[in-house]
Amino acid sequence: MRAWLRILALCLGAMTGAPGARAHEIGTTQVQLTLGPGDTWSATITTAPTALVNKLEAAAGQALSRDLTAERVLAALPAYTAAIAAQVDLRADGAAQPATVAVERVEMPSDVTLPAFVVLRADGPLPPGTHAVTWRYGLVYSTYGVVFTDAAGGAPQTRWLEGDAASPPFALAANAAAVSLPQLAAQYLQLGFLHILPEGLDHILFVLGIFLLTTRLRSILVQVTAFTLAHSVTLGLTMYGVISLPSRVVEPLIALSVAYVAVENIMTARLTPWRPLVVFAFGLLHGMGFAGALADLHLARRDVIPALVSFNVGIELAQLSIIAAAYAAVALVCASGGRKDKPWYRRRVVIPASSLIAATGLFWTVQRVAGF
């Protein structure tokens, strides 16, 4: 037991010693990109004036200007509009589109606490029937947001880009290719499965926590059924906008649920009357977490039900795979240990594994609370 505690302490130390990934260095650049109306696109680029002018001067091999004013920036930029346009890379279905750039506004207050910015307007043609566009802007170093808006409809989407990286494709609703029902079902079944295995480590640990309480099949089935019912309900309700909880609340609670089931495994070896209820309650939270993965995809309303059902089936298949793998692993451990009695299994498997899961769940809880 002491050895396990030492390992646990080492793991926690190593985990806390490696801070998690946090927000990126978001600069002052912002882009509003509008596709349409008609066969055109336009973008409003708001960025830092001195950095913009200096980048253009450096690219042209000229001396860099210092102590710029709004008037000097306004006087300097027209000579560079072609150079700026060359750095605006809008691609329609992979084909680069020409762009023209104009300077709309420059603000450089003498009060340094007020923001200095230049507003550029870029526009160009959009070929009829374009399915998707990508955006790239070569005159930025920091992380910045691009808001894609389809003038034909649909909710705007914000993408965060690292400097001069290209955006992922943004699909235009009017020209999106129709997907058949079997294709859609297969796509979302795969998505649901992958969302758990291997991407959903917190959900994997929760299912393992359920499994570790007892090897009795009935107990596992009761818990898995409660979990499945619960997350199916909230997944559907969240997708239809009936319920909504911010992820800053849901994600730490999911992490806490992982810790809870593991701690209860250490405290008791029996299926207590409240355990299925608790698992059901936690399942409600996990369902809201699952909904996040689907919500990001901005499904068309007609596709919501088949996608939801397929996604849920994918999740169930992943859960059953985890339990099957866990059963196989436990059988292997018991066979190699030469012991199959319950005290041995509990002492050598349930308690150490649950301790690790509980520690991980608690670490995530703190990390997620601190991260929001």
Partner 1 sequence: MLALRGALIGLAAACWAAGALVAACGSAWAHDFWIEPSTFRPGPGTAVAVGLRVGENFIGDPVPRTASLIDRFFVRQAGEEQAVGGADNIDPAGFLRADGRATALVGYTGGGSYIELPADRFTAYLRQYGLDGIVAERERLGESAQPGRECFYRYAKSLLAGARADPAVTRPLGFTYEVVPDADPTTGGPGPVRGHVLFQGRPVAGAVVTAHLQGQPAMRLATRSDAQGAFAFPLPQGGVWLIRSVHMVRAGTLAHWLHHRDWESHWASLTFDWPGPAGLAGAQP
Strand order, beta sheet including 157-162: 100-107, 117-125, 40-47, 26-35, 143-150, 157-162
CB of 294 to partner 1, least distance (A): 22
Binding span for partner 1 by CB under 8 A among 50-58, 167-175, 226-234, 323-331:
50-58
To partner 1, the closest distance from the beta carbon of 366 in angstroms equals 13
Round to whole Å and give the CA distance between 147 and 44.
Answer: 10
Residue 269 is a binding residue for partner 1 (CB under 8 A): no
Q: Which helix (H) or strand (E) holds 45?
A: strand 40-47
Mask: binding to partner 1, 169-208, rule CB under 8 A, as x and -?
--------------------------------x-------
Minimum distance from residue 302 beta carbon to partner 1 (Å): 34
- What is the enclosing helix (H) or strand (E) of 360? helix 351-371
Encoded one letter per residue, x for contact with partner 1 by CB under 8 A and - for no contact, window 61-90 reads: x-xx-x------------------------
Find, among 79, 83, 145, 76, the residue nearest to 106 by Cα: 76
Considering only residues 25, 128, 180, 336, which one is a binding residue for partner 1 as defined by CB under 8 A? 25
Structure tokens at 338: 């030469």
Beta carbon nearer to partner 1, 144 or 345 = 144
Q: The tokens 């004036």 sit on which residue?
A: 49
Query: Rule CB under 8 A: is residue 28 a binding residue for partner 1?
Result: yes
Task: Label residues 262-294 b or e (16+ Cβ within 10 Å = b).
Answer: bbbbbeeeebeeebbebbbebbbbbbbbbbebb
- Applying CB under 8 A, the residues found at the interface with partner 1 are 11, 14-15, 17-29, 47-48, 51, 54-55, 58, 61, 63-64, 66, 112-113, 115, 140-142, 162-165, 201, 360, 371
